[in-house]
Amino acid sequence: MKRLLLSICLTLMAAVHAGGIEVYNFDDKAQENVYKELVDELRCLVCQNQNISASNAELAQDMRKKTVQLLKEGKSKGEITEFMSQRYGDFVLYKPPFKASTAVLWIAPFAFFIIAIWLMLRTIRARKQENELSELSDDQVKQAASLLQSNSDKDSKTS
Amino acid sequence: MAGLFYFVLGQMNDGEYDPRDIPTEFIGRNAPEFALPDLFNPEQVVSPSKLKGQVWLLNVWGTWCPECWREHDYLLHLARTRGINIVGLNWRDEAEEAKAMLVRLGNPFSQVGFDPDSSAVIDWGVYGAPETFLIDAEGIVRVKHKGAMTEKAWMKKFATHFTGNK
């Protein structure tokens, strides 16, 4: 058992080693924080549902490298997102800016929510009306009872 | 619903629609500048600004990219029989392997920029290979095609820009 565990550990270590951990030296803590924010917010264009901090795609590695390089040149966070979206479009930003081309993206969820509420209310109202129609009023019940009564009287007379 | 699904699937199979496609930012913009060493002749600099005045193609490729092998014959045909100036952009590759591929299959490129660390590739907004751009005589990007170059894609997107010389 011990041997098995040891071999698993060794295999995992080898895997980590093969993955290659990138080490960047930042000028200060603030710069490192901006870097962390950026790599979380930039989308990997190769594995499109990952950000570049999670992706091991080669392009993502190079985009991280580029991000560091731009930071060291003294570029701000806004300038770097601008740099990336000029090249890869708003798609590269996990949080796209609100503008004409992305308005649908931002508004659609709320619009769908409102439509859903409206449909729900309409259905509820329609159902209520249907129930009211099918229910008999007290007068109608009395009328039906007397009709049945008179019919059975007739039946008893004829028989 | 099933009809829509079938339609979209058909478009994907025809290569007309790719859900992973990202609209390019470069149509109508100036070709981003780079200065890369030539694959075969590292002292020589490959640079878009040197090509002003002619219509040319920039083809991003790598030996690791299967579609690049598939489109290679067609690129050769474009260069040899139609006289199209194709500049290669070799991306994230080993120089020796890249050279070996061109020696073995034939070289459709007038020159090949060597870009092992994606410096020019990021500036051109490239995210996959192969990708082919058309740059006009004023140095403006007019067309971008993602995926292998084929006769169909050529006729549809590129051919009209070359009416001048062929």
Same-domain pairing of A106 and A43: no
* Percentage of residues of chain A with pLDDT beyond 70: 83
Same-domain pairing of A52 and A106: no
Q: CA A57, A63, A68, A70: dihedral to nearest 10 degrees?
A: 180
Q: What average pLDDT does the segment B66-93 reach?
A: 95
- Residue A41 near residue A92, CB atoms below 8 Å: no
Q: Does A88 lie at the interface with B, CB-CB under 8 angstroms? A: yes
- Searching chain A, which residue's CA lies closest to the CA of residue B126? A88
Same-domain pairing of A113 and A81: no
Find the distance separating the first CA and the last CA of chain A, reported in whole Å.
Answer: 96
pLDDT over threshold 80, residue A153: no
**Shortest Cα distance from A149 to chain B (angstroms)?**
57
Q: pTM for this one?
A: 0.73
pLDDT over threshold 80, residue A16: no
pLDDT at residue A152 in the model: 75
Same-domain pairing of A30 and A73: yes
Query: What value of ipTM does the predicted structure carry?
Result: 0.81
Using the 8-state DSSP alphabet, how is residue A146 labeled?
H
- Which range of residues forms the domain containing residue A47? 22-97
Residue A144 included in any domain: no
Residue A62 included in any domain: yes
Q: What angle do the packed helices A77-88 and A29-41 form, to 10 degrees?
A: 30
Q: What average pLDDT does the segment A44-61 reach?
A: 87
A110 to each of A67, A102, A103, how far by Cα in Å?
A: 34, 14, 12
Same-domain pairing of A79 and A53: yes
Same-domain pairing of A85 and A102: no
Into how many domains does chain A fold?
2
pLDDT over threshold 90, residue A19: no
The pLDDT tens digits of the residues spanning B133-159 come to: 999 999 999 999 999 999 999 999 999
Residue A74 included in any domain: yes
Go through A108-147 and write b for each residue having 16 or more CB atoms within 10 A of its CB, e for each that does not: eeeeeeeeeeeeeeeeeeeeeeeeeeeeeeeeeeeeeeee
pLDDT over threshold 70, residue A158: no
Same-domain pairing of A33 and A54: yes
Q: Does A59 lie at the interface with B, CB-CB under 8 angstroms? A: yes
pLDDT band at A73 (very low <50, low <70, confident <90, very high): very high
Residue A157 included in any domain: no
Mean per-residue pLDDT over chain A, rounded: 84
Token pair in block for residue A11:
């295999």
* Final residue before a domain boundary, out of A77, A97, A117: A97
Residue A154 included in any domain: no
Residue A143 included in any domain: no
B85 to each of B59, B108, B111, B136, B165, how far by Cα in Å?
A: 10, 9, 9, 11, 11
Find the distance separating the first CA and the last CA of chain B, reported in whole Å.
Answer: 45
The pLDDT tens digits of the residues spanning B82-139 come to: 999 999 999 999 999 999 999 999 999 999 999 998 999 999 999 988 999 999 999 9
pLDDT over threshold 80, residue B58: yes
Same-domain pairing of A108 and A46: no
pLDDT band at B166 (very low <50, low <70, confident <90, very high): very low
pLDDT at residue A18 in the model: 47
Contact yes or no for A91 and B118 at CB 8 A: no
Same-domain pairing of A81 and A113: no
Token pair in block for residue B36:
């890369």
Specify the CATH number for the domain of residue A43. Answer: 1.10.8.640
Same-domain pairing of A109 and A86: no
CB nearest B127 (choices: A59, A65, A66):
A59
Whole-angstrom Cα distance, residue B149 to residue B129? 11
- Residue B47 near residue B56, CB atoms below 8 Å: no
Token pair in block for residue A69:
């390089």
Same-domain pairing of A82 and A117: no
Residue A152 included in any domain: no
Same-domain pairing of A67 and A49: yes
Residue A102 included in any domain: yes
The pLDDT tens digits of the residues spanning B12-29 come to: 777 667 777 777 778 999
